[in-house]
Every structure is written in structure tokens, then in C-alpha cells.
Amino acid sequence: MTTACILGCAGAALLPEERALFRDVRPWGFILFRRNITDADQVRRLASSMREAIDDENAPILLDQEGGRVQRFAPPHWRRYPPAGAYGAAGTSDLDRRGLAWLGGRLIAHDMSLLGLNVNCAPVLDVSAGPDDGIVGDRGFGASPHEAAMLGRAFAEGLIGGGVLPVIKHVPGHGRGLADSHHELPIVDCSVAELESRDLLPFRALSDMPMAMTAHVLFTAVDRQRPATTSRRVVKRLIRGAAGFSGLLLTDDLSMNALAGSLSERVGGALSAGCDIALHCNGVFDEMVAVAAAAGALVGESKRRAVAARRRVPKQSEPFDVAAALHTFDAAFPRRLAA
């Protein structure tokens, strides 16, 4: 039995109690953070031990490797990547910019594949609210929904070409939510028509992607009580409906302070709302036990979506000249890639 959750761990190697928990509950996948990373050999050992614990040699192991402010692999062991917002300012044409975004995704996929990691929680498709937006800001591809869609797709296809599945986020859009959902609940008061004409456009354009992650944001035009992650109305009307997303829907981290209630209540609320997989990131053991118990077995339509998502990984990566790619990429972003 596979449990409908993704779990982390406390440190750079599995503790005996973590290994036993994973063996017993068999989470669908795992996620790594800076606390879990020291060097390449250590990451490979950790990934292998996670998969061994659940007897699944290809189990999804996730990472947030966006570039810019959010990259779990960083110097001195790995190169630094530019933020998503830098691609829109690069090159002299849309063709150049799209090529560089694809190259960024492909290089990140190359790094991840060497370590045995196969899911990247990127690209960020949230449309930035502008220069004063300190939440999305340069994590997104810009203030134009069409540019976010164009560059987001190129980045995502670069990841897929390198054998790494993208997770588009944070659907139905965090751009108007100017509070940090790690600490408090962002509230968006605009109409559904406004959301459809701007925020949802990139998600609709990439609705064929295998996985998406929800926003812990309250959209009052659809549900005045529950944020998107735990709102059946938002999932049905905006995510599955207006955005047309039919793939595997992950929650954002359920330990974030935007959400109310116990972890068990958060998990139950998210899965009842229509999310497929509960994501828990902080590696606190007692919390992981509670999340796994509340999530229960991955069954039905959610199981079908999970199987379909994993099948999107190419059996063989596309041919790729890493040295030539790095030469092109470094020429486009010389300052941003300095350690």
C-alpha cells in the first residue's frame, strides 16, 4: 500500500525511526531541503536509502531547484542558477529567451539526474504583481502572463528532456497574494474574471504538465472560508475547471502557517478538497506520523494520476552536450552564476 503523502527527513542520513516509518507507511515520494544536503555522494546515498526503505528504486524524490532565491543545491559543490525573472530580460528575442529558459531547465535536470533526483518543484508560474512584489518577485518569469507561460513551458520542457518531472506552482496563482504563506494566510479579493484573464493563463497554458502544486491563498470570489489547498470550490472551479489541470495535484507544504487546524485536519481538508497528495516538508518525526496516518492509502483517481505522472519521465534523456550548454548559458548570465 502506498500512502498519499510526500515526506522529508531530519538530516543528511535517515534515522532508524525514519527508515522504519517509511517502510511501514510507504509514502508516494520524498522531498529534500538544504538540511539534507552536504555533497553529491551524500545526496546519492540518502536518495538510495529512501528508495530502499519503500522498495521502489524509482520513487519520486523532489527538490525545489528554481534558481535565484530558491535553490537547494548551491556553491561550492554546485553551480548557481539565475532566478526565473532573469530569463525574460535575457537575449534579444523571444526565441533567445525561450532557448535560455529551456537550457536552464535542462542543466538543472542534468545536475539532479546525476544525484538520482527526478522531480523539481518548478517552474513558478505565478504572475508577479510588479516591482514591489516581495513574495513572488523574480521567482516568477515576469509580470506578463503570456511571458510566464512561454518561458515556464520552455523551462519545464528542459526538465523533462533531462528526465526530471516539473511541478507547476502555485495554482491557481500566488501573484496577487502579497503576504508570505509561510507565516500568514494571503487573501485575494479580485473577481474570477480577473483571475481567469491573468493569474490562471500560465496554468491553463501548461495544463498538460504531469504535476501541479497548490497555493495556500484565500480567493474570496470563490471561497471566503478556505484557502485553495483545502477548498473543494477552488479546486473544482479554478484548478480543475478554469485552468483545466487534470494531472497530479500536490499540496504546498502543509506545515506552513497560512493553514489553520492540526496537521491531521489540514491533510484531511486538502484531500477532501480534491488534492491528490499531501506534502509535508519539515522532517519533524511526530508530524510525519500524523500526516501519514491522516493521508491514508493512495487509491482511485488519485492513484491513476500518480501512475500517469511517473510515466511522463522519458525512458532515456535526450542527447545533451553539457560543455556547450554551459558555455552558452554562462555567456548569457555571467554575473548571476558567479559563486
Active site residues: 182, 252
| Distance, CA of 336 to CA of 68 (rounded, Å) | 8
**Residue 124 three-state SS:** strand
Instruction: Name the residue with cell 500518480.
Output: 306
For 247, residues 6+ apart whose C-beta sits below 8 A from its C-beta are 207, 208, 209, 210, 211, 212, 305, 308, 309
For 299, residues 6+ apart whose C-beta sits below 8 A from its C-beta are 4
- Which DSSP category does 116 fall into? T
With b for 16 or more beta-carbon neighbours within 10 A and e for fewer, the 128-163 pattern comes to bbeeebebbbbbbbbbbbebbbbbbbbbbbbbbbbb
Q: How far is CA 1 from CA 25, 266, 275, 303, in A?
A: 8, 22, 19, 11
Instruction: Name the residue with cell 500526516.
Output: 291
**Phi and psi at residue 86, to the nearest 5°:** -75, -25
Contact 236/194 with Cβ under 8 angstroms?
Answer: no
- Kindly write down the DSSP assignment for every residue of 69-102, as one continuous string: TEESS-TTTS-----GGGGGGSSSSHHHHHHHHH
Instruction: Name the residue with cell 536518495.
Output: 47
